[in-house]
Amino acid sequence: MKIRAGYEISYDCPQPTPMILTLSVHPSRFSDLLTLDRMRIDPPIVPNTYHDRFGNFCHVIRAPAGRLTLSADFLIKDSGGADATATQAKQHELEDLPVDVLIFLLGSRYCETDRLSNIAWSLFGQFPKGWPLVMAICDYVHDRITFGYQHASPTKTAFDAYSERRGVCRDFAHLAITLCRCMNLPARYCTGYLGDIGVPLDDAPMDFSAWFEVYLGDRWYTFDARHNKPRIGRILMARGRDATDVAIVTSFGPCTLANFKVITDEVASPVPEASMTISRPKTAEARSRS
């Protein structure tokens, strides 16, 4: 399938403000791009681009005082398959894990393993390791947290989400990640596009989405505690320890979000010409309505 995706985001800056932007498609999806994922910056600024320690593609700019608008609009191909399922995927013993995975067992800014460790073991200590354990954590988080955009907070941590029992997709991800890490499952935070593809349309405005990945067997698998079922059409932008590492905009000075629009839509395949039936209007009334 083909997916059209992009964004238009504006900030009002009272003074020149340095920013790190993590808005590009992840390099692992570059080969799927059908058109360039080119960030347009208004007023024009030449960014300093780099790949961070997690492999994400980032831009550094100094936004001038006034209105800054960032936008992109691109096409990408997708297999159309849902998130992979591997019910027999095994959990490694810690000493057998690849060393580059170990960082995703540690606590981080929004994932306080120290505050949730005893809770995690009391809840999940008797579950079989591996895939069943991750699914039990997803079920628990999905049932515990009530979703609502009005519950969003940039400072809310996994423990806060556990205590308040409400939040947005990033809070579902943070709590699930923390509980996984407490149970010795390497887990990392993901952000990207997830449109209403293969599911009923949601009337709420489109937004970027958060999910997470867990290392089982010899690879990373995608999980989503908010939706709690495999989904179609994820477009990864960035991965990291938690939302700190993958914030779409990290500003080093005051600025105010003035406009935010995200698009993620499946592009309908054109009907082959040979299969099209052409009907011609037979009356003036029909022609006037065609």
Q: Looking at residue 268, what is its pLDDT?
A: 85
pLDDT interval class at 269 (50, 70, 90): confident
As a whole number, mean pLDDT of residues 87-114 equals 97
How much is the pLDDT for 278? 33
pLDDT digits (tens, 9 = 90+) for 115-166: 999 999 999 999 999 999 999 999 999 999 999 999 999 999 999 999 999 9
83 pairs with which residues across the strands?
Answer: none
The C-alpha torsion from 236 through 238 and 240 to 242, rounded to 10°, is: -80
Domain with 160 in it:
94-243
d(CA 41, CA 64): 11
Asked, for residue 229, whether it belongs to a domain, the answer is yes
Strand 17-21 relative to strand 57-63, pairing: antiparallel
Q: Is 277 contained in some domain?
A: no
Whether 136 and 91 have beta carbons less than 8 Å apart is answered as no
* Domain assignment present for 275: no
Q: How many angstroms from the chain centroid is the CA of residue 230?
A: 14
With respect to residue 88, please indicate whether it lies within any of the assigned structural domains: no
Q: How confident is the model at residue 289 (pLDDT cuts 50, 70, 90)?
A: very low
CB 181 within 8 A of CB 187: yes
Q: Are residues 98 and 64 in the same domain?
A: no
What mean pLDDT do residues 41-61 have? 97
Average pLDDT for 47-62? 97
The confidence band for 270, taking pLDDT boundaries of 50, 70 and 90, is low
Q: Please tell me whether residues 60 and 115 are part of one structural domain.
A: no
Is 191 in contact with 237 (CB distance < 8 Å)?
yes
Q: Report the CATH number at residue 252.
A: 2.60.40.2250
Q: Quick one: 211 and 101 in the same domain?
A: yes
Same structural domain for residues 237 and 99?
yes
Is the peptide bond preceding residue 270 cis, with omega within 30 degrees of 0?
A: no
Do residue 135 and residue 239 come from a single domain?
A: yes
Task: Give me the pLDDT at residue 202, please.
Answer: 86
Residue 225 CB neighbour total at 10 angstroms: 28
Q: In this structure, are 119 and 222 located in the same domain? A: yes
pTM of the model: 0.91
* Domain-embedded: residue 138: yes
Return phi, psi of residue 152, to 5°: -70, 140
Residues 181, 102 contacting (CB under 8 angstroms): no
The answer for residues whose C-beta is within 8 angstroms of residue 220's C-beta and 6 or more apart is 188, 213, 214
Mean pLDDT over the full length of the chain: 92
**Do residues 179 and 257 both lie within one domain?**
no
How far apart, in whole angstroms, are the C-alpha atoms of residue 61 and residue 22?
A: 11
Q: How far apart are CA 205 and CA 32, in angstroms?
A: 26
Residues 33 and 104 in one domain: no
State both tokens at 153. 């907070």
Confidence class for position 284, pLDDT limits 50, 70, 90 = very low
Model confidence pLDDT, tens digit, residues 211-228: 999 999 999 999 999 999
Domain assignment present for residue 272? The answer is no
Indicate whether 187 belongs to any domain: yes
220 and 254 part of one domain: no
- Asked if residues 246 and 213 have their Cβ atoms less than 8 Å apart, the reply is no
Q: What is the mean pLDDT of residues 42-63?
A: 97
Q: List, in order, residues 6 or more apart from 221 with CB less than 8 Å away.
A: 83, 84, 86, 89, 134, 213, 214, 215
Tell me, yes or no, whether 164 lies in a domain.
yes
pLDDT of residue 274: 43
In the chain, the number of structural domains is 2
Please report, for the domain that includes residue 112, its CATH number: 3.10.620.30
Mind listing the pLDDT tens digit for each residue in 153-210?
999 999 999 999 999 999 999 999 999 999 999 999 999 999 999 999 888 888 999 9
Question: Do 216 and 127 have their domain in common?
Answer: yes
- Domain shared by 73 and 146, yes or no: no
**Alpha-carbon span 250 to 86, nearest angstrom:** 36
Average pLDDT over residues 60-72: 98
Task: Please tell me whether residues 155 and 255 are part of one structural domain.
Answer: no
Q: What pLDDT does 44 receive? A: 97
